[in-house]
Amino acid sequence: MAYFGVQPSSVFTGSGAKNVFNGDGSTTAFTMSQAVLETTNIEVFVGNVRQEPSVAYTVSGFTLTFTGTPASGTGNIYVVHQNSNSDTVAVTPGLALAPSTLAVTGTSTLTGNVTAAGTLGVTGATTAAAITASGLVTANADMLIGGATPTLTIGDAGAEDAKIVFDGNAQDFHIGLDDTADDLVIGLGSALGTTPAISIDENVLVTVNDDVSVVGRAFSPTLTANLGSGIDLALGNNFLITTTGAVVLTFTNQIAGQSGTLKFVNDSNRTVTAHANVAISEDDLSTISETGTYMVSYFVTAASANNTILVSSSAILT
C-alpha cells in the first residue's frame, strides 16, 4: 500500500488478541492476557452475546470484572482485544517522543534513558537505565537505589550550594553543602546556613556552633575488683560510675583525642587502682578511694592498642 509522506510507524500496528474463559456461576473477575485502559478497547461476549461496555463489565489493567455473574459453561466467555498495542506505546529505536506531560499511574519499565525537561510524575514503579530531569521529579512512594556501588550524587560539580531538606510537620532540618565555604552543614530549618548546628570543613575539622547545646551520653556501669569490660568509650564521653567493691580503673574502645568526665561515686572507702594504660597520680587515686562523690577528667593521648589515658583533676562534689 502506498503512503503520502512518511510511512506510519509500527507503533500503531499489531494484531488483535482473544482470551477465552469458563464461567462457573460465581466468578465475576477474570485475568486477561493484555492490560486494558478503557472498556471500549475490548469486545466481551458471554454465550455469544456481546456485553455493553462500562455497564455489563469494567476493566482495570489485566482484570475484567462483570457487574453480574456469568453462567457456567466451557469457553462461554471470550474477550476480543481490538489491538494488541491499544494499551502500550512501543517506541521505534532512535525515535524520540516529546510529550508536554507524562503521567504514569502503573509500573513503567524502560531499558533506555529517560530525559524530562518538564515535570515527571510517577505514582507507580519506574525502572530505567538512567533518568535525567531538568524539572521537578515527584515520587509518591519509596525510592530504591541499587546496583553494585549505589551512589546518590547531589550537584554537578558546579559552583552552587546543594542540600537535602527534611520537611517535617512542625520543624524542618537540612544537610547541605555550602559551596562558598566548602563546608558540609547540618542545621535547623530548610534554608542552608540559616541556623547551622554542625559544620565539617575541607580539612575534616568539625565545628559545633556556639549557640548549640551539646549533650553527652551518660552511662552507669558498676565496677568491682574484676576489670570486666572497663569503661567503654564507644558508648559516649561522660559516665556515672558507682562502686560496690575495690576498683581497677580501666578503659576500652578509646580513640586518640577523646576526652570526657567521670562522675565517680565511692560508696564506702573502696580501694581504687589503675590499669597500666591509665596515667593518674597516687594522690588522685588516694582521694577517690575515700567515700564521696568526685568529678574526674580523662584524655586519650595516643592512637594505639594501648592508648595512654591521662586522668586527673579530681574534685569533691558536695
Q: What contacts 35, CB < 8 A, 6 or more positions away?
A: 61, 62, 87, 88, 106
For the segment 252-305, what is each residue's pLDDT rounded down to a tens digit? 888 888 888 888 888 899 998 888 888 888 988 999 999 999 998 888 887 565
For the segment 117-164, what is each residue's pLDDT rounded down to a tens digit? 666 666 667 776 677 777 777 777 788 888 888 888 888 888 889 999
Q: Alpha helix locations (H) across the chain?
A: 282-288
d(C-alpha 59, C-alpha 93), whole Å: 31
Show contacts of 281-286: CB within 8 Å, 24+ apart: 281/312, 284/311, 284/312, 284/314, 285/249
pLDDT confidence of residue 87? 47
Strand partners, 175: 164, 186
- pLDDT-derived band at 50, boundaries 50, 70, 90: very high
Q: Residue 150 has which C-alpha cell?
A: 549505589
pLDDT confidence of residue 85? 46
Q: What is the pTM of this model?
A: 0.45
Amino acid at 130: A
pLDDT confidence of residue 123? 67
Mean pLDDT of 199-220: 75
For the segment 3-40, what is each residue's pLDDT rounded down to a tens digit? 555 555 444 444 568 999 999 999 999 999 888 888 99
DSSP code per residue over 297-308:
EEEE---STT--
pLDDT confidence of residue 10? 46
pLDDT confidence of residue 232? 83
Closest CA to 23 of 67, 68, 77: 77
Share of the chain above pLDDT 70, in %: 71
Mean pLDDT of 94-115: 63
Amino acid at 289: S
Is the model more confident about 248 or about 30? 30
- pLDDT-derived band at 110, boundaries 50, 70, 90: low
